[in-house]
Amino acid sequence: MSTQRMTRAQVPMEEMILAPGSTCQGCGAAMAARLTFKVLGPNLIRHGIPCCPDQVSKHPRAGAVFEGGGASLTGTARGLKALGRTDVKAVGFFGDGGTYDIGFQGLSAAAERNENILVITKDNEAYMNTGGQRSGGTPKYAETTTNPVGPNSRGKSEPKKNIPMIFAAHYVPYIATASVAFPEDLMQKVKYAKDIEGFRMILIQSPCPVGWRFDPAKTVELARAGVQAGVWPLYEIEHGTTFKLNYKPKELKPVSEYLKPQSRFRHMTEVEVNEIQASVTANWQRLLKADEMKTVVL
Amino acid sequence: MHGRGGQGAVTASRIIATAAYEEGKYSQAIPMYGTERRGAPLTAYVRIDDRRVRERELVHNPDISLCFDPLISLQQAVANDLKPHGQVLLNVPFSPEKSELAGNINIATVDATSIALETLGRPITNTALLGAFSKATGVVKIESVEKAIKKYFPGRLGDMNIAAVRKSYEKVSPWVPAKNKVAPKMQVDLNVGGYGTLKDVSSWRVFYPVVDEEKCIGCKTCWIFCPEAALEWKENNKPAMIDRACKGCGVCANECPVKAIEMKRVEGA
A149 at the B interface (CB within 8 A)? no
The percent of residues in chain A predicted with pLDDT above 70, rounded, is 100
B145: closest CA of chain A, how far (Å): 24
Binary contact (A20, B254; C-beta < 8 A) = no
Three-class secondary structure of residue B184 per DSSP: coil
Task: Look at residue A252 in the predicted model and tell me its pLDDT.
Answer: 93
Instruction: Look up the CATH number of domain A20-293.
Output: 3.40.50.970
Identify the closest residue of chain B to A216 by CA–CA distance: B249
pLDDT tens for each residue of chain A, 298 residues long: 777 788 888 899 999 998 888 888 899 999 999 999 999 999 999 999 988 888 889 999 998 999 999 999 999 999 999 999 989 999 999 999 899 999 999 999 999 999 999 999 999 999 988 888 999 999 999 999 999 998 999 999 999 999 999 999 999 999 999 999 999 999 999 999 999 999 999 999 999 998 999 999 999 999 999 999 999 999 999 999 999 999 999 999 999 999 999 999 999 999 999 999 999 999 999 999 999 999 988 7
Any idea how long chain A is?
A: 298
Q: Residue B192: its pLDDT value, please? A: 54
Q: What is the pLDDT of residues B19-57, one digit of tens each?
A: 999 999 999 998 876 656 777 778 889 999 999 888 888
> Could you give the ipTM of this predicted complex?
0.91
3-state SS assignment for residue B30: strand
Q: B-side interface with A, Cβ within 8 Å? A: 5-6, 35, 37-40, 192, 194-198, 200-201, 204-205, 219-220, 224-230, 233, 244-251, 253-255, 263
CA distance A18 to A34: 9
Q: What is the DSSP letter of B204?
A: G
Spell B222-244 as b/e; 16+ CB within 10 A means b.
bbbbbbbbbbeeeeeebbebbee
Q: Is the pLDDT of residue B187 over 70?
A: no
Q: How many CB atoms lie within 10 A of CB A252?
A: 17
**A3 burial via Cβ count (<10 Å: 0-12, 13-18, 19+):** exposed
Grade residue B128 by pLDDT with cuts at 50, 70 and 90.
Answer: confident
Q: Does A130 touch chain B (CB under 8 A)?
A: no
Which residues have CB under 8 Å from A147's CB, separation 6+?
A: A134, A138, A153, A155, A156, A157
Sheet with strand B26-31: strands edge to edge:
B2-4, B41-49, B26-31
B233 contacts in chain A (CB < 8 Å): 13
Taking contacts as CB-CB distances below 8 angstroms, the residues of chain A near B250 are 26, 215-217
Chain A residues with CB under 8 Å of B251 CB are 26, 216-217, 219-220
CA distance A7 to chain B (A): 11
Average pLDDT over residues B140-162: 89
pLDDT at B8: 83
**A53/B251 Cα distance (integer angstroms):** 19
Q: CA nearest A296: which of A237, A247, A227, A223?
A: A237
Instruction: Using CB atoms, pick whichever of A21, A183, A215 lies closest to residue B228.
Output: A21
Name which of B75-89, B113-127, B175-189 the model is least confident about.
B175-189
Calculate how close chain A gets to B6, using CA atoms only, in Å. Answer: 8
Letter string b/e over residues A75-104, b meaning 16 or more CB atoms within 10 A of that residue's CB: bbbeebeeeeeeebbbbbbbbbbbbbbbbb
Max CA pair span of chain B: 68
Q: Taking CB atoms and an 8 Å cutoff, what residues of chain B touch A151?
A: none
Probe site for chain A from B7, B10, B195 (most A CB atoms < 10 A): B195
Q: How far is B157 from chain A (nearest CA, A)?
A: 13
Mean pLDDT, chain A, whole residue set: 92
Distance between CA atoms of A60 and A43, rounded to whole angstroms?
Answer: 9
For testing contact with chain B, the best of A22, A52, A55 (most B CBs within 10 A): A22
Over chain B, what is the mean pLDDT? 86
- Residue B224: which of A11, A26, A27 has the nearest Cβ? A11
Q: Are B73 and B108 in contact (CB under 8 A)?
A: no
Residues 6+ apart with CB under 8 A from A233: A177, A227, A245, A247, A283, A284, A287
When pLDDT is cut at 50, 70 and 90, the band that residue B184 belongs to is: confident
Residue from B104, B115, B113, B107 nearest B82 by CA:
B104
Which amino acid belongs to residue A8? Answer: R
Q: In sequence order, which residues have a C-beta less than 8 Å from that of residue B157 and are 6 or more positions away? A: none
Report whether A153 contacts A288 (CB < 8 A): no
> How confident is the model over B223-237, as pLDDT tens digits?
999 998 999 998 899
Chain A residues within an 8 Å CB radius of B197: 18-22, 56
Give chain B positions within 8 Å (CB) of A35.
224
In chain B, which residues have their Cβ closer than 8 Å to the Cβ of A56? 195-197
What do you get for the CA distance between the two ends of chain A, in Å?
18
Contacts (Cβ under 8 Å, ≥6 apart) of B216? B238, B239, B258, B260
What are the domain boundaries of chain A? Answer: 20-293
Cβ distance B198 to A20 less than 8 Å, yes or no, reads yes
Averaged over B109-113, what is the pLDDT?
Answer: 90
Residues A4-60 have pLDDT tens digits of 788 888 899 999 998 888 888 899 999 999 999 999 999 999 999 988 888 889 999
CA-to-CA distance for A208 and B188, rounded, in angstroms?
Answer: 30
Nearest by Cα to A245 from A223, A225, A222, A227 = A227
A186 vs B: CB within 8 A:
no
- pTM for the structure as a whole: 0.82
Q: What is the three-state SS of chain A?
A: CCCCCCCHHHCCCCCCECCCECCCCCCHHHHHHHHHHHHHCCCEEEEECCCCCCCCECCCEEECCHHHHHHHHHHHHHHHHHHCCCCCEEEEEEECHHHHHCCHHHHHHHHHCCCCCEEEEEECCCEHHHCCECCCCCCCCCCECCECCECCECCCCCCCCCHHHHHHCCCCCEEEEEECCCHHHHHHHHHHHHCCCCCEEEEEECCCCCCCCCCHHHHHHHHHHHHHCCCCCCEEEECCCEEEECCCCCCCCCCHHHHCCCHHHCCCCHHHHHHHHHHHHHHHHHHHHHHHHCECCC
Kindly state whether A147 is in contact with chain B, defined as any CB-CB distance less than 8 angstroms. Answer: no
Domains in chain B with CATH codes: 2-177 (3.40.920.10), 202-265 (3.30.70.20)
Q: Best residue in A13, A25, A215 to probe B by mutation, most B CBs within 10 Å?
A: A25
pLDDT computed for residue B21 by the predictor: 92
Which of B33, B37, B207, B246 should one mutate to test binding to chain A, selecting the residue with the greatest count of A CBs within 10 A?
B37
pLDDT of residue B193: 52
Q: Pick from A8, A20, A215: which is nearest to B230 by CB?
A: A20
SS3 readout for B80-141: CCCCCCEEEEEECCCCHHHCCCECCEEEEEECHHHHHHHHCCCCCCHHHHHHHHHHHHCCCC
